[in-house]
Amino acid sequence: MPSTDVAERMDDRNHLLALAERCEASSKPNRELDAEIYEALGFTVRRKPTRLATRRTPAGGIYQQGSFWKSLGAVSADINIAVSLLREKAPGWSWSLQCFASEDSLAFQALVAECSGQGVMGSLALCAAMLRALARHRPDAEDQV
């Protein structure tokens, strides 16, 4: 039977892969998905409480960066936020993003550290590829993801 640490790392790896699949399956940005991506990247997240929500409460919630709390970025909707998180969490990784357009559809494909992701938006495709790359580069990860 695997040790608790190994089991937790595998669960974490499986969670990253499942989250990447959710990014690819998503037809639009989602604030709950944003919060889960931030958590998967290692941030402490406090979600917006629905019963105490006001216009001054940041949409989606807040996350902790160092000793500061910041508004949760719309990583599933904004390519700039997705790129900045990628650069922060994996500064040396190479990445690319392509758009494929036809008369009736638009699709994006991203490549991060040799792991691919796709989505209806560039930000979702980049998030999927980033999550797969993080899962692949775990110390206990298998050679192929």
66 within a domain of the structure (yes/no): no
93 within a domain of the structure (yes/no): yes
What band does 97 get if pLDDT is binned at 50, 70 and 90? Answer: very high
Per-residue pLDDT at 81 exceeds 80 = yes
Q: Can you give 117-145 as a three-state secondary structure string?
A: EEECCHHHHHHHHHHHHHHHCCCCCCCCC
Any idea of the CA torsion for 16, 5, 35, 101, to the nearest 10 degrees?
-10
As for how many domains the chain has, the answer is: 1
Q: pLDDT tens, 40-60?
A: 999 998 886 656 556 665 666
68 within a domain of the structure (yes/no): no
Per-residue pLDDT at 74 exceeds 80 = yes
Per-residue pLDDT at 30 exceeds 60 = yes
What is the pLDDT, as a whole number, of residue 27? 93
34 within a domain of the structure (yes/no): yes
Per-residue pLDDT at 83 exceeds 80 = yes
What is the pLDDT, as a whole number, of residue 21? 97
60 within a domain of the structure (yes/no): no
What CATH number should be reported for the domain holding residue 106? Answer: 3.30.160
67 within a domain of the structure (yes/no): no
69 within a domain of the structure (yes/no): no
Range of the domain at 10: 4-46+75-136
Q: pLDDT tens, 3-15?
A: 444 445 457 899 9
**3 state SS of 63:** strand
143 within a domain of the structure (yes/no): no
Copy the structure tokens of residue 68. Answer: 């500061």
